[in-house]
Structure 1
C-alpha cells in the first residue's frame, strides 16, 4: 500500500497537534544541534516526586503489584480519591463515585467521547488549554469559543455564559486555576455562573481543577459543585496527582461525578486502555494519604518565582503581564511587538512570529497565545530554577530592547 494513502479518520485528519509539544520538539531539535535553550514551555513542576511517593512505588514493585487492575482503578486508590474530594472540596463522594484514568487528559477525553454526538456544542472560555477544542472535535462535537480577555481577568462571566448557551449546548468546561493565564474563579464568580447553569439543566459541567493546590496569596480554592451542590448531579470534577505532587510522568488522573457518566467512561476505558499503571496507582495512594508539606513548600517557591517573573516582564519594553493568581504560568501581552522587526531581521506579524524569534534569536522557548485562543500573548511557564528564569527574562528583555 502506498505510504501516501489518505485513509485517516476525518476527525483526526482535521485535528491539530499540540502547539506546546510542537515548540518542545523545536527545542529538542535546537538542543540536538548544540544550542543552549531555556525552555519555558513545559507545563510540569521542575521538582522531583517526593521521596515517600517514590518509595511506595518501589515497595509496590517488590510486593508484586505489577499486574492488571480494575478498569476504574484500585479500590484503595478510589477510596483515597473519594476522601480527597470530601475533605478538600466538600463534595459528597464515595469510592464508587470515582474513576481513575491514565492522566487527567484521559479523564476529559473519556467524558467527551462518552457523551458527545454530532452537532453537540461545548462552551470553552478562551484562553483555554490547547487540547480542549481538539478533544471536542475528535469526539464529534463543536467548540463554542467564548473569548474572555484581560478586562474580565481572563474569566467567563455569567452574562457571557448566558449568551453562549444554546439548544445544542452539551458541556461547559471550566479550568481554575487556568492554563494558560493562572486566573482563579472566586466563590462569587462561580456562584454567578451556577445561577445561569441552573436555568439550563441540559448543560453538563466539566470542572478541570488540576492546578487546585497551586493558588497564591493565601486565596481559597473553590470548585463549582461545592459552591452549588444542585449542580453535582451533572458536574464532572477532575483532578490528579501530576501538578500538586510533581508526578506528571506517573499518569494518574481521577474524577468524581454522576454514576451514569462514570459508568459510561469506565465502559469506554475498558475497551481503550483498561486500568492505569498499577505501580503508579500505589504511588498515588501514598501521595493522597501521605504528608502534604511538599505542596505548601512548592507553592511558596512558585509564588516567589511568579513575583519576580512578573516584575521583570513588566520592566521589559513591549511586554505587559498581569499578576496570575495560580498555576505556574504568566500570560504576557506581547501585542506591542507585533508589526516590528526582531533583532535578527524577522518580521513580527503575530505572536507566533514573536515566539519563534525568541527561540531562534534569544534561545528562550515560549508558547504563542494564539495556541490558547487569544492572539497577542505568549505563555511563559515559570516551573524552572531561579537562575534559569532570571537568565530567560534578561534574554527576553534584551531581545525586546533591540526590536525596532
Structure 2
C-alpha cells in the first residue's frame, strides 16, 4: 500500500472558520503542553505520555478523545528536538474524526465546538485521485498564511505493478537547466529563473520602500512565485516519470540533501540556488514514480559532474565552463549536464545491477 496526500481548499463560512481557528489554536496549545511534559519526564512513548497528559489535554484544552490522542502522537515524533515547539498552523485527523463526501464536495471534521461540515473545492485531478483511492486514512487541517483553509487528505492506494527496468534514466538536477537526463533531453529552467530574477529585483525595491502597501505586495508576490515554481516542478517530474515508464527504465537521481551547505558559489548563483526547490522536485519525482511503479534510485552526487563518462578520469579541470565538459585525459567533450546524468545512471546501475545501462 502507498499513501498520497491530496490537498483541497476549504470554503468555510465565518462561523465555521472561527471554530476551525479555535481548534488549531487549542491543538497547538495541547501539543506544546504535552511536549513540556515529555521533555521533563523523558516520556516519548505514545502510551506512556498518554497516561501523563491525556485527561488534562481534554479538560484544559477542550479536545475530543481522538484529537487528544492525535496531539500526543504528534509530540512523540519530536523526540530528540531540544528546543522549539509547535505553531498554531494545523491539526491531525484520523478516520474517526474526518470523513469526506466527494459527490457533495463536503468534509466533516471534529472541532473543539463539535462536528462541522465544510464545503471544499475539488479540481478535476484531485477528484480523480480521491475516487481511485482505496480508502482515506485521515488528513490534516491547515490554516494558510492569508487565513485560507485547506485539508490534506491521506489517500491509500494499492501498489501498482513494479516495473522490471531494462535500464537506467539518469537525471542531473541543476540551476541553469532544472533537469537533464542521460538521453540528452533538457528540462530548461530559463523561464523560471528569469521570473525569479525579476521578482528578486522587485522584492528588493519593495523592501526598501517599507510601506504597508509594499508589504501587502511582497506577500502577494511570494505566493505567486511559489505557485509558479510548484507548477513547473509538477510538469517536469511528470515528463520524466512518463518517459521512464514508456522506455521501461528506472530513474536515477543524486541525493542532494545538504547541497546548500556543501557548494560554494558566487553571490548571484547563491541567490538562485537558495530560491530553487531541489527537495520539492525530488519529492514530486518520488511519489509520481511510486504511483507509476517506476523504481527510483538515489546515488552519491560526489564528482558526477567532473568524471569522464568515457575513461573515468576525474578532475576539476574537466569542467572548463558551466555548460561544457572536456576531459583533460582523453579529450572526450560534450554537454556537462548530460555527461553528469550518464554518470548518475551508471552509479545507480551498480546499486541496482539488474537494471544495467
TM-score, length of structure 1 as denominator length: 0.24
Structure number with greater Rg is 2
Higher RCO, 1 or 2 (CA under 8 Å, sep at least 6)?
1
Relative to its length, the structure with more strand (as a share) is 2
